[in-house]
Amino acid sequence: MIEEVAEHVYAYVQPDGGWCLNNAGVITAGGESALVDTAATERRARALRAAALSLESAPPRIVVNTHSHGDHTFGNCVFPEAVVVGHSGTRTEIKQAGLHLTGLWPDVCWGDITVTPPTLTYEDRLTLHVGPVRVELMSAGAAHTINDTVVWLPDQRVLFTGDVVMSGVTPFFPMGSLSGCVAAVRTLRSLDPAVVVSGHGPVAGPEILNETEKYLLWVRSLAKEGIEAGLTPLEVARESRYGPWEGLLDPERLVPNLHRAYLELRGAAPGAPVDMGALFQEMVDFRGGLPHCAA
Ligand SMILES: [Zn+2]
């Protein structure tokens, strides 16, 4: 589960990367440590805490949140010694969402979770120092959510993308922006990372950025054809199925992804509000049941 990806830097990978099985990062040097994201449930967050303490006996004093989603942030409360750091918009989103995610999968044992939003926020960029390691937080704007943060370690060339990028898992951007995802992936490529730790799925190299961009452009072209043919996103998904992306985990995300693509092709701004409850339900109907959440 914990994988050294560079000197001082570890990926905490939760297979298989499906719904709510997110990745985190541990940066540890000079007797200090910091986390990139936590986990969805109390039990999983405590396992992450134990893994971090196995690397460095002092608990992490910084937790960075890449975005608001509960699978990345509910576990913040298991690190009371840490300052939680995130984009100001992520703080707002976390406060608005509360424990909403738990209602989507009521059978999951979430444990004792207290919503703990960032208390230290930034807007465009922020640099943290963990021992000798420079940790750069960069706003990716609206992409997977309305406010995404990527974490870049320039000396190690390690990139933590949050859910802007998924590895072997279908991208998911109905809450954010398709054009924002495309722009973000292109910016991330320009950083020239050696290692990419995505928000879900195995650790990858820079090729995952190209794969992600291909998927995004495929959804955009499907949406364009669908609009021209007068079809709804659901009709397009029924016709096209998953095209070359059948092998990705959770491919049914195509339906809400197409909705976001339709909105933007029709002129909506990145991150424009949608009825996520309705989109989630349409995805469940398309799939023929609630997707499994193994959290
Ligand atoms: Zn997410």
CA of 166 to the centre of ligand 1 (A): 10
How many A from CA of 173 to the centre of ligand 1? Answer: 9
The Å distance, Cα 75 to ligand 1 centre, comes to: 14
Which residues, by Cβ under 5 Å, contact ligand 1, an ion?
69, 163
The torsion region of residue 31 among left (phi > 0), alpha (psi -120 to 50) and beta comes to left
Q: Give the pLDDT confidence score for residue 289 in this predicted structure.
A: 95
Ligand 1 centroid, distance to 20 Cα (angstroms): 8
pLDDT score for 167? 98
Q: Ligand 1 mean position to 230 CA, how many Å?
A: 31
Please tell me the distance between residue 234's alpha carbon and the centre of ligand 1 in angstroms: 22
> Rounded to the nearest whole angstrom, what is the distance from the C-alpha of residue 134 to the centroid of ligand 1?
25
Query: 163: CA distance to ligand 1 center in Å?
Result: 5
- What pLDDT is attached to residue 79? 98
Q: How far is the CA of 31 from the centre of ligand 1 (A)?
A: 30
**What's the pLDDT at 286?**
96
Query: How would you write the pLDDT of the chain (295 residues) with one tens digit per residue?
Result: 999 999 999 999 999 999 999 999 999 998 999 999 999 999 999 999 999 999 999 999 999 999 999 999 999 999 999 999 999 999 999 999 999 999 999 999 999 999 999 999 999 999 999 999 999 999 999 999 999 999 999 999 999 999 999 999 999 999 999 999 999 999 999 999 999 999 999 999 999 999 999 999 999 999 999 999 999 999 999 999 999 999 999 999 999 999 999 999 999 999 999 999 999 999 999 999 999 999 9
Q: Which amino acid is at 142?
A: A
pTM beyond 0.85: the answer is yes
Q: Are strands 24-29 and 9-12 parallel, antiparallel or unpaired?
A: antiparallel
Q: How far apart are the first and last CA of the chain?
A: 15
What is the distance in A from the centroid of ligand 1 to the CA of 229?
Answer: 32
The SS3 call for residue 181 is helix
Whether the CA torsion 32, 36, 40, 44 is positive or negative: it is: negative
Q: What is the side-by-side strand order in the sheet with 83-87?
A: 2-6, 9-12, 24-29, 32-36, 62-64, 83-87, 120-122
Distance CA 273, CA 237 (A): 22
Q: How far is the CA of 69 from the centre of ligand 1 (A)?
A: 5
Q: What is the pLDDT of residue 221?
A: 98
- Chain centroid to Cα 58, Å, comes to 27
For position 120, what pLDDT does the model report? 98
Query: Which residues fall within 8 angstroms of residue 135, CB to CB, at 6 or more apart?
Result: 27, 34, 64, 127, 128, 129, 151, 152, 153
Query: What pLDDT, on a 0 to 100 scale, did the predictor assign at position 116?
Result: 98
- Ligand 1 centroid to Cα of residue 30, in Å, is 31
Question: How far, in Å, is the centroid of ligand 1 from the Cα of 18?
Answer: 11
What does the alpha-carbon distance between residue 40 and residue 154 come to, in Å, rounded to a whole number? 28
Cα-to-centroid distance, 25 and ligand 1 (Å): 15
Report the pLDDT value the prediction gives residue 279, as an integer from 0 to 100.
97
How much is the pLDDT for 123? 98
Neighbouring C-alpha atoms within 13 Å toward the C-beta of 52: 30
Three-state DSSP state, 119: coil
Q: For residues 148 and 160, give the distance between their C-alpha atoms in angstroms, rounded to a whole number.
A: 11
Going from the Cα of 253 to the center of ligand 1, the distance in angstroms, rounded, reads 13
Return the structure tokens found at 40: 């969805």
